[in-house]
């Protein structure tokens, strides 16, 4: 191991000191055994700190920014009630220190943030509450209440301390609109339900929708722009091509509800019906150009081989037969016998 640069060593010491409260000793003439004892003690503390993820993983897990909502109400005289909606699984423990920033300068407002008065710094998971602040001991309130230029505003940087490295949140504050009617905290708390705010339920619904979109990317349409989507949902749980496990998929999968209608994406002839180990109950629809569309994992089939169908006709009911992990539609497209991406490439016929 190479020699540690002195500046890096001091940086490491500062980080260790801030995390553990222990000073790593510098160079000295003390007996080596004493230095070894102190180093062992320090390493023991460092081991304990580094073991925290095992003992309490949540301390190292930041909160998704979309899981929180803030709205500040100015009560006058430098005082604020800040509504906090917490749709996360973690308790918020706001550090009793903050930064008041100005947008146009990106600089902290001159004052002493350590003098800010706090009340209500803990917000439980899946709940909402009010954080009360008094900025008057720390800042020149008369100055802050002056009108700012267009496109400029103040904001607070609030730090969630219930996270080993801290996590900052920005909350815009307006010193020009006074809500004296909300000065009483109990009254403000009871009035929360009437405020136009990002409610916890809305945050949770939005979070669930985002998680669903991340799990099931939404598809814009099929490769032929004249084809219609075969089921009610447009999310795709399995894409065409090589997967992360190295296996090749000749189809896409679309999650849905058990028993929902599966429609013909285009007009054509039912060229085949059957059962396969992977696809389960399946239908093959052949269009006028000879392109074949295969539907799999079907619960029930409502057409017969040789039957002519029109675009939008119900062919089957969605199911989870074969090797489906849940209710879904397997959809494959074959051009001259070769599997092609049902979603990708230029529209056929161009």
- Does residue 70 have a pLDDT over 60? yes
- Per-residue HEC secondary structure of 265-329 comes to CCCEEEEEEEEECCCEEEEEEECCCCCEEEEEEEEEECCCCCCEECCCCEEEEEECCCCCCCCEE
State residue 90's pLDDT score.
84
**Mean pLDDT, to the nearest integer, of 6-22?**
53
- Read off the pLDDT of residues 26-47 as tens digits, 9 standing for 90 and up: 544 444 445 544 545 544 444 4
For domain 65-206, the CATH architecture is Sandwich (2.60)
- Does residue 66 have a pLDDT over 90? no
- Read off the pLDDT of residues 295-345 as tens digits, 9 standing for 90 and up: 999 999 999 999 999 999 999 999 999 999 899 999 999 999 999 999 875
Angle between helices 32-50 and 6-20 (to 10 degrees): 60
In the chain, CATH 2.60.40 sits at 65-206
Q: How far is CA 154 from CA 16, 65, 78, 106, in A?
A: 34, 20, 13, 10
> DSSP states of 189-236 as a string?
HHHGGGS----HHHHHHHHHHHHHHHHSPBP---SSTTPPPSSS--B-
State residue 2's pLDDT score.
40
**Residue 60 contacts residue 163 (beta carbons within 8 Å):** yes
Count of CB atoms situated within 10 Å of the CB of 276: 14
- Read off the pLDDT of residues 253-290 as tens digits, 9 standing for 90 and up: 999 999 999 999 999 999 999 999 999 999 999 999 99
**Residue 26 contacts residue 9 (beta carbons within 8 Å):** no
State residue 102's pLDDT score.
93
CATH class of 241-340: mainly beta
In the chain, CATH 2.70.70.10 sits at 241-340
């Amino acid at each position: 191991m190479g020699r540690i640069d002195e500046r890096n060593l001091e940086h490491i010491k500062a980080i260790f000191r801030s995390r553990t409260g222990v000073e790593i000793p510098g160079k000295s003439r003390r007996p080596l055994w004493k230095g070894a004892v102190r180093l062992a003690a320090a390493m023991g503390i460092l081991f304990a700190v580094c073991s925290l993820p095992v003992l309490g993983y949540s301390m190292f897990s930041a909160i998704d920014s979309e899981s929180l909502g803030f709205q500040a109400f100015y009560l006058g005289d430098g005082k604020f009630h800040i509504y906090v909606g917490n749709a996360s699984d973690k308790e918020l423990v706001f550090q009793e220190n903050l930064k008041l920033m100005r947008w146009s300068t990106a600089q902290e407002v001159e004052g002493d943030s350590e003098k800010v008065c706090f009340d209500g710094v803990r917000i439980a998971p899946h709940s909402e509450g009010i954080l009360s602040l008094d900025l008057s001991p720390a800042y020149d309130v008369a100055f802050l209440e002056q009108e700012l230029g267009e496109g400029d505003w103040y904001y607070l940087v609030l730090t969630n301390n219930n996270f080993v490295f801290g996590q900052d949140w920005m909350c815009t504050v307006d010193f020009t609109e006074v809500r004296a009617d909300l000065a009483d905290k109990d009254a403000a708390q009871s009035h929360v339900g009437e405020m136009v705010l990002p409610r916890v339920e809305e945050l949770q619904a939005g979070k669930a929708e985002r998680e669903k979109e991340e799990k099931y990317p939404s598809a814009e349409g099929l490769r032929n722009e004249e084809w219609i989507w075969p089921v009610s949902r447009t999310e795709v749980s399995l894409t065409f091509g090589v997967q992360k496990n190295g296996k090749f998929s000749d189809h896409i999968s679309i999650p849905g509800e058990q028993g929902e209608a599966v429609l013909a994406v285009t007009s054509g002839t039912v060229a085949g019906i059957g059962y396969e180990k992977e696809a389960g109950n399946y239908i093959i629809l052949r269009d006028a150009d000879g392109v074949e569309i295969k539907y799999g994992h079907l619960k029930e089939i409502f057409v017969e081989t040789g039957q002519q169908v029109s675009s939008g006709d119900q062919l089957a009911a969605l199911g989870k037969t074969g090797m489906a992990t849940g209710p879904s539609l397997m959809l494959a497209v074959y051009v001259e016998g070769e599997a092609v991406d049902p979603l990708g490439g230029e529209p056929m016929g161009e």
